[in-house]
Each structure stands twice: as C-alpha cells, then as structure tokens.
Structure 1
C-alpha cells in the first residue's frame, strides 16, 4: 500500500525559505533513502513541502527567488534545424542534455523539444546498475506507471490497447496540487528503448506537458543510463525556475524509485 500524505502534516520549514533550498533538502533526503533505506513517508513529506511552496500562490514565495545551480542542465540551442521546420517562429529548439553527459547523439536527438516563450524544458539523467532489458520492462508499461512512480495512486487505460495513441487516466495521491491527468502515448520504440507521452487533459497545473524517456547501455559496465526530458507550460503566477524545480522534483523522485526497483529485481 503506497503512503499518502496526511492532511494534518505541518511543514517544519518556514515558507519564507527559498524553494531551491527545499528542493535540495528533498533531493538529498532521497539520496540518503537509497543508502539508509528510510521510509517512503520521509520523502513523501518533503515532496509535499515542495508542492505546497512552489506550485501555490505567490504569497508563500519569497520575492525574486534565487537562481538554482541545479538547473544548469538546461541548454538552449538556437539552431532549430533538427526540429520541425514548419513550427511557429516563436518556438525554439531546446536540447536539455549537458555536453559533458555521456549520451550518444542517436539518443540526444529524441530529447530535442520545441519550446514556446511561456514554457520550460529540462532533463534528468540517472545511472542504474541493471541491464537495459530489466529497466525497460518497468518503463515501457504505459498502463502501470505506479510501478515506480510513488505519487501515482492509480492508472487505467481509457482508449487503446497500449500502442501509440493510447490514452490513460492517472490519479495522484492526496495532498498534492493535482487530482488526475489524462495522458497520450506518443512514442513506444521497443528496439531503441524510447517512450514518450503528453498530457492532454486533467485537473492539474502542468498544461501541455510532454515527456521523453530513453534508455541506453552505459559505456562501461552492464548498467543503464536513463534520460528523461520534458517541456511544460509555466503556470500563471509562477516563474520558469519554480516550475522546473517542481517538475524536476517529480522526475528525479521517479528515477530514483526506478533505480531501486530495477536494481533489486536484477540481484
């Protein structure tokens, strides 16, 4: 049974602190969880703090929040030659993969996003000590995201049979600034290990969200490198940095959970 944040949970951290500080606290707690096997309630509670203070009205935010060094993975390319050339002039091609990352060009191309002036784009990279086939067996299940996404309460297909174009309805755990999300499967490449979905409806604040996840073998060893990138609208009343901190938190929580599950199953 997946833990649910209690409605009586009180944040021990002052709302006046930077959202970046809260994000850092959360991510470090997740890393410690991997080493110390802390309870799921521990990082769910930290996530709840981030949700309440980042994707909430401005009264809970400090003015002019500091820039986060965590967000340096976002890299902008002004050369849209690899993107849809018929896209609107206001869109730019972003490939949020750091140049220092050992990601093959054949993989990087899947993470080129067309980003509008009121959108943000970022990526997270996770190394997993398990074969690609093991990790892919979890990631490819469009009908079962809750297998590794702790904030998903339930999921059911509402149209389609799991192929490209299939629609699913995802419901999230209580206590978060969302209720449900309707999502469409955009890419499912079994050979290249690529999966992508877009959000097409639901009760949440992440409009026009699109995610791409790729898996490839690590250069040395038998592990897997998972890259997940996204593009999303910046909600009214929030900044790009606030939105990226919020979404990065979700993505990195999911990838750490995926790492734990895949590594445990391959032992």
Structure 2
C-alpha cells in the first residue's frame, strides 16, 4: 500500500489514508470502483455524473453533480490512472465550484493479507464500535 499512498507532498499540502475492509470478492469490488463514469454507484452524495471528455479510460474527464446541501454543486475530475492488474485508480480534481485545490485521490484494492497485530486491533475496533452503534439504535 505504501507504494501508492505515500506521495511526496509540497509544504502547503497534506495527505491522509483510510483503510476499509470489505467482505466481498475483490473482483466484484473492483468492478464497481473502476467505473469512472459511474461513481454514484457507491458514492451517496452524487446526484449525477457525465463524461465530458473521453470514454471512461485514462485521460477521461467527468462532471459530477452533487446533492444539494453540500458545500459545492459540481466537481470536474480527470482519470489519471486505471490499472486493472494492480487494482489502482487515481483521480484528480481539475475544477468545479468547491474549495479543493491540487486534490488527488488514489484508490487501491488488496486481498486481505494474514492477520497482524495492527490488523487484529483494527478488526477489534470495528467489532466494538459496530456493537455500540447497534446498541444505540436498539
């Protein structure tokens, strides 16, 4: 993961990483993620998406219309990288009525690698917080 998620940052930039375990086969998850023309399939804050350049491959540009109530209405994004073998997708924001400047999102998918102490801790954290959520709803 560090190969794709530790980019060199300029003095006025920041970065972050989020890891999510998904209980589904990797090919199924990738088939949803890789659809540059259909982010609304899994991003609930998107009203619509249309390609304004390209066919959905690298170099394509999409205009994303966001649901009302968010701090923006539109986002213009370019697909910088799409690697089906390594399961890597890189998208840059290139315009829109939001405040994101020099924003780039890298998404990678990985098969779960054996349990480590950190992995066990994160799984435990998920179980505990999910139980609390269920108790709060009950």
TM-score range, shorter chain: 0.7 to 0.9
- In the alignment, what sits opposite 2:37? 143
Structure 2: unaligned runs, 5 residues or longer: 116-138
Determine whether 1:127 maps to 2:21: yes
- In the alignment, what sits opposite 2:10? 116
Instruction: Give the distance between the partners of 2:11 and 2:48, measured in 1 at CA.
Output: 33
Instruction: Give the distance between the partners of 2:113 and 2:16, measured in 1 at CA.
Output: 23
Equivalent position SS for 2:31? helix
Equivalent of residue 59 in structure 2, options 165, 174, 182: 165
Determine whether 1:152 maps to 2:35: no
Q: Which has the larger radius of gyration?
A: 1
Equivalent of residue 88 in structure 2, options 161, 181, 194: 194
Instruction: Give the distance between the partners of 2:23 and 2:114, measured in 1 at CA.
Output: 11
Residues paired across the two proteins, number: 115
- In the alignment, what sits opposite 1:180? 74
Structure of greater relative contact order (alpha carbons < 8 Å, 6+ residues apart)? 1
Shift of 1:220: 4.2
Instruction: Give the distance between the partners of 1:156 and 1:111, measured in 2 at CA.
Output: 28
Equivalent of residue 205 in structure 1, options 99, 102, 109: 99
Equivalent position SS for 2:20? strand
Instruction: Give the distance between the partners of 1:214 and 1:133, measured in 2 at CA.
Output: 12
> Which segment drifts farther, 162-171 or 109-118?
109-118
Shift of 1:162: 1.2
Equivalent position SS for 2:30? helix
Poorly superposed stretches of 4+, deviation over 2 Å? none
| C-alpha RMSD over aligned residues | 1.3
Q: Which is helix-richer, 1 or 2?
A: 1
Shift of 1:207: 1.4
TM-score (norm 2): 0.80
Structure 1: unaligned runs, 5 residues or longer: 1-106, 222-267
